[in-house]
Amino acid sequence: MINRAIAPGCNFSTKIPSLNYDSYFLENGIPVYAIHDKDQEICGLELIFEGGKRVEPVPGASYFATHLLTAGTSQYTKSEINKFFELRGAFVQMQAGIDICSFNLYCLSNQLNNILPFFAHLFLEPAFPNEQIEKLKTQKKQSIKINEQKSSYNASKILRKYLFGKHPYSHILSENDINNLNKRDIVKYWHHVSVKSLKFISLAGNFKDDALKNLNTFFGLQSINRQTSSSKIKISPNYGLVKNGLKNSRQASLKLATLTISPTHEKYPLVSLTNTILGGYFGSRLMQSIREDKGLTYGIHSSIVHLKDASYVQISADVKKGSTTQVIELIWNEVNKLGSQNISNQEITKVINYLIGSYLTSTDNIFDKMAKIKHLKLHNLSDNFYSIFYQQIASISSKQIKQTTQEYFNRELFTTALVE
């Protein structure tokens, strides 16, 4: 008879398996990172372009150029493009980010070579039709109007403005930006920035050898801009509290952030573990104090964001109106505890197991693994980064966490945005 009052034993390994993949190079030097799986019926292809809003000459050019690639080409209308992919059971996704633009294609493995020429045509001969530009402008302005009624959106705008100063990271697209944007700006951005800034390609699934030949035909013969520059504008944060009101808002939003170290820094595992203990998972200190004990929020979370020109820690929460001052003090109360009191080995072990378990479950399939490889390549990390990272995390002590909190979670170096 099993004794249900005794928890079963746990055999948990902290060893991180290697991310096995192959590397190929097109004739122009563009790398292709691939994972071949003969049992996978789906193929996933992603093209990563250097650029994004960080280098756009006109606000909105990156977003509109990226999202209009499927709006029409020199040979096909938007309707014909949509119908082509729909009839073949393919899915295309375009994303305009802050530092990069990414383009995903998912299709049946046996359809990849048939779809690839058409997919490449979208990049090489986009038409950017005027009527589609105006339609997207209308949609984006409507989206902005809706977002401007949300306290969390306004808090993000304020935070980025004061955290990044005059750097391009501080800007969030506005209606005025959209009104000033024209087709010439979009075309110039795409042909002089994005299409010449292909950084790498990832491919996962049961693809055939000639898929690599086709990739070379369509993307390996293009001239590529090898220089990847950072913004010349230095990031100069404005510290302290910034408040703003929002009419008819039923809740308040808080955003606290500070610049921090990149994943290549030797102390990054310490900062990552400390951040997770503070607010990086459901059982974190902030969740226990502000949600479970005080009931002032449905959720509060602390995360680390990595960009090309900066990394930062951000604490976010939507809270009851009128409780913002209390919540801010509760946040710093938990930070002060981390920086002054010993943490039990039981809590440290629990968080370490959570982090390792989260990583293992996030690499269940080849597409998840490729997402991890993408992270490595975007941040110039070594192939063994994850195994070394989790090895180091597993040996961190309570004393180190206290020291890390004091060094990297200094209240005087945080920017706080409050909207209610």
Alpha carbons within 13 angstroms on the beta-carbon side of residue 128 total: 21
Distances (CA, A) of 5 to 1, 2, 10: 12, 9, 15
Concatenate the DSSP letters of all residues of 79-110 into one string: HHHHHHHHHTT-EEEEEE-SSEEEEEEEEEGG
pLDDT for 4 equals 83
Contact yes or no for 134/71 (Cβ under 8 A): no
Longest dimension (CA), the chain: 76
- Sorted by where each starts, the structural domains of the chain and their CATH numbers stand as 22-219 (3.30.830.10), 240-419 (3.30.830.10)
Taking the C-alpha atoms of residue 378 and residue 18, their distance in angstroms, rounded to an integer, is 18
pLDDT for 3 equals 82
pLDDT for 348 equals 95
Amino acid at 319: V
SS3 277: helix
CA-wise closest residue to 272 among 336, 208, 356: 356
| DSSP label at residue 420 | -
Taking the C-alpha atoms of residue 112 and residue 187, their distance in angstroms, rounded to an integer, is 28
353 Cβ contact list (under 8 Å, min separation 6): 12
pLDDT for 223 equals 79
**CB burial of residue 350 (10 Å; 0-12, 13-18, 19+):** middle
What pTM value is reported for the model? 0.92
Taking the C-alpha atoms of residue 320 and residue 296, their distance in angstroms, rounded to an integer, is 6
* pLDDT tens across the length of the chain (420 residues): 678 888 776 666 677 888 999 999 999 999 999 999 999 999 999 999 988 888 888 999 999 999 999 999 999 999 999 999 999 999 999 999 999 999 999 999 999 999 999 999 999 999 999 999 999 999 999 999 999 999 999 999 999 999 999 999 999 999 999 999 999 999 999 987 777 889 999 999 999 889 999 999 999 988 777 665 566 678 989 999 999 988 888 899 999 999 999 999 999 999 999 999 999 999 999 999 999 999 999 999 999 999 999 999 999 999 988 899 999 999 999 999 999 999 999 999 999 999 999 999 999 899 999 999 999 999 999 999 999 999 999 999 999 999 999 999 999 999 999 999
